Amino acid sequence: MKQLTSPPKSAMAMLEWFDRTLNNPQAPLKSIEVLISEPQASTYTDANGLVAEIAAATWNNFEASVQAWFERANADSSNVAIFYFCGHGIGDGINTYLLMEDTGSKKDLLMSALHLSAFRIAMGACKAQKQVYLIDACRTVDLATVFTPHMPAQSGLEPGNVFEVFEGSNPVLYSARQGEQAFGEPENVSDFTKALLEGLTRCAVFRPNGKHWAVSPQELQKAIAALMDDFSGKPQCPADGIVGTGFQIHVLSGPPEVVVHVSLDNEKANASAEISYTTKERRGTRMDKAHPWRTFIPCGQCFVEAQFAPSSKFSAVTLETTLYPPFQNILLEVQ
């Protein structure tokens, strides 16, 4: 496995969001445990101007950090525990292992890797009834895990009780399905984390009690799936443990937007079409010939249209609709 350059950028982007943007009045206090492996140790200046050096994501550092994180989350049942990982991952067709910096340094390959299922079961003992796991890693099957079926199930915590049912909510959102790879451009934030941040800040919302706009795991999964959609028909952002109507992770400071995919029902008309939308707040026009066209539009009433040159044989019916987050698919009828 080669050294990845996207995960440090992705982790730092998530750290900045948690520190500077995360807002949840139901759980107003926040604390962050962060580990990032880079060639040179990195530092972070938080929103209060405090500078701290970030330790590497070795197994020993992870074990100490996750136990401290568990203890703080365990202090109150109303706490919201959010776990994010970006880096190398492998699977055996059933389980997912998240690799630390020193994975492979011991005799047993996965002695320095996190067994995700064991970790989630161990977190069942935590009093925090609202938990979410955001996993940005490959889940390709590795022969070492297949040929060594009794690999240790490392969690960094006291082993969980599989006979106890966790009474809260603890969904996992993945960047890849079991057996698949996850992607990101070198030296840039990964595809999944880009979509995750867009969802958290713009569109992955519901209205608890009909008042404010709040992000929930359920809406986040839909938003990420829409933002990562490559239009091949392959499902995006698999999730495990999505139950109930959702809980509040973050409250937006203003009205949300909607991820919208606009397409024509006759693809032959696409090359000559100028597609646009109009809302009370603004108007937007497709600047390229992407089909479908993915864009963000303010929620509420919206008109979507396609215009053609007078010499064109095509025309399209303007669509009037009401957009509600996180996602809407729009198909314009071409005549």
What are 41-76's pLDDT values in tens digits?
A: 889 999 999 999 999 999 999 999 999 999 999 999
User: How would DSSP label each residue in 37-90?
Assistant: --SS--EEE-TTS-EEEPPP--HHHHHHHHHHHHHHHTT-TT-EEEEEEEE-EE
**pLDDT, tens digit (0-9, with 9 covering 90-100), for 263-300:** 999 999 999 999 999 999 899 999 999 999 999 999 99
Cα 54–chain centre separation: 22
Q: What are the phi and psi torsion angles at 322 (to 5°)?
A: -110, 120
**Tally of CB atoms within 10 A around 232:** 7
The vertex-131 CA angle with 128 and 135, nearest 5°, equals: 150
Q: Which of 132, 137, 280 is nearest to 199 (CA)?
A: 132
Enter the pTM of the model: 0.95
Helices 191-198, 6-20: inter-axial angle, 10-degree rounding: 10
Q: Can you list the alpha helix ranges (DSSP code H) found in 166-205?
A: 191-198
Please, are residues 85 and 76 in contact by the beta-carbon 8 Å criterion? no
Give me the residues of the chain with pLDDT under 50, please.
none
Q: Which has the closest alpha carbon to 179: 229, 142, 153?
A: 142
**C-beta neighbour count of 317 within 10 angstroms:** 11
